[in-house]
Structure 1
Amino acid sequence: MGEVLFTAIPGMYGFEGVSRTVAIFVGWAIHLSHGTVLGLIFGVAVTVVPECGERLKYGFLAGVAYGIVLWVALASLLMPFWVGQAMSIDPPVPDWRLWSLLGHVLYGAFLGLLIPLYRRYE
């Protein structure tokens, strides 16, 4: 994921051609902020369907589905298109990288389990 994290993500926000150190910091900061906002959106969404926010099985399945939706819509379609517009590189659109799917599914599964677990002990 190195080149995506340290080149493409910073480049989407105008940080193309910065030093490797700055690119690492900016890439991680942007990626973590995206993950935070998307996690908050998921948290709000599962309050609409109480079973997803209270039961582990449904929360897990909702999280996995959310991860897949994020991968298709954002990582595979929007991001490569945005990178192609903002930078001098031309990534494939759609960009169906399986390691990216795995990462987004794990992220969604974690979110889907985290909320019901938190609610059990609040």
Structure 2
Amino acid sequence: MSTTTETAQQFDASTGNWRAGVLGGIGGALVMGALVLAMNAATLEVAIPSLYTLAPPASAGLGLVVHVSHGAVLGVVFAGLVGAFDLDSLGGQVGLGAAWGAVTWVVLAALVMPVWLDVVGSPANPPLPNFAIPSLLWHVVYGLVLGGVYALVEDAV
């Protein structure tokens, strides 16, 4: 007769610091927004505000408000992931941030955004899928800043 013992791994996403996620998400979205403006301003001026029918006319300000809002919300999700994976090191959090940025690029920028822009009739509708390499760079930078800021402020907020 044999006995088998199984240990269930439990993930607790509630242990992440959502405030640090918001701050990291805002910081990451601001840095990413600066890159977008420098490399392809129409994305921030037309495509992003078009998600909510706020463009045309082009408006970098409205685009940045929408983009930073998205960044903050995605930062809260990131905080949940940090808690779920029990990451407490700078390297782990920055690495997860980079991976999270790549995931948001694939799912949100390359797949969801083109469909959403088509549904609202945006003049800035990219092809589906939209696996644009500059956008991958922007999203990974978002994630790196998110993870770094999260790690720096996690214990302070």
TM-score tier by shorter-chain length is: 0.7 to 0.9
Q: Counterparts of 1:36 and 1:91 in 2: how far apart (Å)?
A: 24
SS at match of 1:7: helix
Normalised to the residue count of structure 2, the TM-score between the two structures is 0.67
2:32 equivalent in structure 1: none
Spell out the pairing of 1:45-56 with structure 2 (5 A cutoff): 45-50=81-86, 52=87, 54-56=88-90
Matched, 1:92 2:131: no
Matched to 1:101, the amino acid is L
With over 3 angstroms needed to count, the CA separation of the structure-2 counterparts of 1:106 and 1:17, relative to structure 1, is closer
With over 3 angstroms needed to count, the CA separation of the structure-2 counterparts of 1:121 and 1:8, relative to structure 1, is closer
Give the drift of 1:88: 4.7
Give the drift of 1:117: 2.5
1:69 equivalent in structure 2: 103
1:109 equivalent in structure 2: 144
Gaps of 5+ in 2: 1-39
Matched to 2:73, the amino acid is V
Q: How many residues align?
A: 117
For 1:13-65, what per-residue CA distance to the aligned partner results, in whole angstroms no more than 9, with x for missing partners? Answer: 112333x4xx2221111011001111121112211222x2x111211211111
Matched to 1:3, the amino acid is A
With over 3 angstroms needed to count, the CA separation of the structure-2 counterparts of 1:113 and 1:95, relative to structure 1, is same
More helix per residue: 1
Matched to 2:89, the amino acid is R
Matched to 2:134, the amino acid is W
Normalised to the residue count of structure 1, the TM-score between the two structures is 0.84
Identity percentage of aligned residues: 36
Matched to 1:74, the amino acid is L
Which one scores higher on RCO, CA 8 angstroms, separation ≥ 6? 2
Gaps of 5+ in 1: none
Give the drift of 1:120: 5.9
Runs of 4+, deviation exceeding 3 Å: 119-122
